[in-house]
């Protein structure tokens, strides 16, 4: 066998062996949203190949047909225009662009991650009485915290949901931006501090699926992974029960310790969650004594930190102690761990005493 044929065969065998280990979960997912996204990728690729393949084929054909050694090729040095050729050159790409534009417009609205689901899969709509499972997702450095407000539990680096039940993810981050991604479930959604993104999805097949961060966030990024368990209703109830039995309380103090950067975190389970913890994480006021972002924005919307903006807060006037100097007015309505939804305002306005 010639050497070049042997090398070509070796390359093909090595390529086949490497590709045999590829996981095609993106194009063969277990969730309806991911399946629709996979079909969108395939259809878009095929539409683009309608132009790419002929262009590549014609490029090779022209190079061969009009090579220097082919004396039988037609030679027209003064040719400069063909209406028929112009129509083909412009009409075909234009039709493809129109088709891709229409496909993108429709899919952008149908697959909007903030849009509640309308079906379980292609054959089954969501029953009217179905209540979605709510999961609050917090991207930490470098681990994932999942809060289940209805069940009153939380986990680190482990996520579970019943099969064929809609899931509503509320997603945020504690420090830097990350990206929540379970390829078998749905597309990537960013997690950003001080902001909440959403994802509506459903898992249609039982199994254990890989989840990870798809946005580089520092030293521990590579190991920021978790397992997503698709369970039947009985299995999910048993999973919730085991978390309640094995877990410890997730207080605000425990969260502050958990929030510190760490790598290769094992699965952790929490049997209970402090009241208002997720809103406090979202508004960056878990730590006692900090103003919540939503309350800060409310003050700004009301006109700032003057009397108009502080009209809803308790006002205390502090004498300056020296004649002729203005008094100082403070807003002193504070939020506490016992009252996490209260207003914490550390602001002041100068007033002249009469």
CB atoms within 10 A of CB 59: 10
Per-residue confidence (pLDDT) for residue 327, from 0 to 100: 47
Q: Output Rg (C-alpha) for the chain, integer angstroms.
A: 30
pLDDT score for 135: 97
Do 178 and 224 meet the contact criterion of CB atoms below 8 Å apart? yes
CB-based contacts of 266, cutoff 8 Å, min separation 6 = 156, 157
pTM (whole model) above 0.85: no
* Tokens 């402090």 belong to residue: 274
Angle, alpha carbons 326-331-333 (nearest 5°) = 155
Instruction: Give the pLDDT means over successive 10-residue stretches in the chain (354 positions).
Output: 56 51 73 92 90 92 88 82 87 90 90 92 90 96 95 96 96 94 94 95 95 90 94 95 94 94 93 94 89 85 61 47 46 49 44 42
Which residue ranges form the domains of the chain, and what is each CATH number? 22-65+82-111 (no CATH), 121-282 (2.60.40.420), 293-351 (no CATH)
Q: Are 178 and 139 a contacting pair, CB within 8 Å? A: yes
* Cα–Cα separations (whole angstroms), residue 122 to 126, 201, 289: 11, 14, 50
* Diameter over CA atoms, the chain: 108
Residues paired with 172 in a beta bridge = 138
pLDDT of residue 317: 46
**pLDDT for 266:** 93
The CA distances from residue 215 to 190, 196, 259, in Å, are: 8, 17, 18
The pLDDT assigned to 337 comes to: 53
């Amino acid at each position: 066998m010639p050497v070049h044929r042997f090398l070509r065969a070796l390359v093909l065998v090595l390529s086949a062996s490497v590709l045999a280990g590829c996981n095609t979960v993106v194009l063969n997912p277990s969730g309806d949203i991911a399946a629709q996204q996979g079909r969108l990728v395939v259809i878009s690729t095929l539409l683009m190949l309608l132009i790419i393949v002929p262009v590549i084929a014609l490029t090779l054909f022209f190079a061969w047909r009009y090579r220097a050694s082919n004396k039988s090729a037609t030679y027209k040095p003064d040719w400069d225009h063909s209406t028929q050729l112009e129509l083909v050159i412009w009409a075909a790409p234009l039709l493809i662009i129109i088709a891709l534009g229409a496909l993108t417009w429709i899919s952008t609205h149908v697959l909007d991650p903030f849009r509640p689901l309308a079906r379980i899969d292609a054959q089954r709509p969501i029953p009217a009485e179905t209540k979605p499972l709510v999961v609050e997702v917090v991207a930490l450095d470098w681990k994932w915290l999942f809060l289940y407000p209805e069940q009153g539990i939380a986990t680190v680096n482990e996520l579970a949901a019943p099969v064929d039940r809609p899931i509503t993810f509320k997603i945020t981050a504690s420090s830097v931006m990350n990206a929540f991604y379970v390829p078998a479930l749905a597309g990537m959604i960013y997690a950003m501090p001080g902001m909440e993104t959403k994802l509506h999805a459903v898992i249609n097949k039982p199994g254990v699926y890989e989840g990870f961060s798809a946005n580089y966030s520092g030293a521990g990024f590579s190991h920021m992974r978790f397992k997503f368990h698709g369970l039947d209703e009985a299995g999910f109830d048993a999973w919730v029960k085991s978390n309640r039995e094995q877990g410890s309380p997730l207080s605000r103090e425990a969260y502050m310790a958990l929030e510190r950067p760490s790598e290769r975190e094992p699965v952790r389970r929490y049997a209970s969650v402090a009241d208002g913890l997720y809103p406090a994480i979202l508004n960056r006021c878990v730590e006692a004594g900090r103003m919540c972002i939503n309350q800060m924005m409310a003050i700004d919307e009301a006109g700032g930190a003057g009397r108009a903006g502080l009209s809803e807060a308790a006002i205390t006037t502090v004498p300056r102690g020296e004649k002729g100097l203005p008094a100082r007015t403070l807003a002193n309505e504070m939020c506490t761990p016992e009252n996490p939804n209260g207003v914490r305002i550390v602001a002041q306005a100068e007033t002249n005493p009469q």
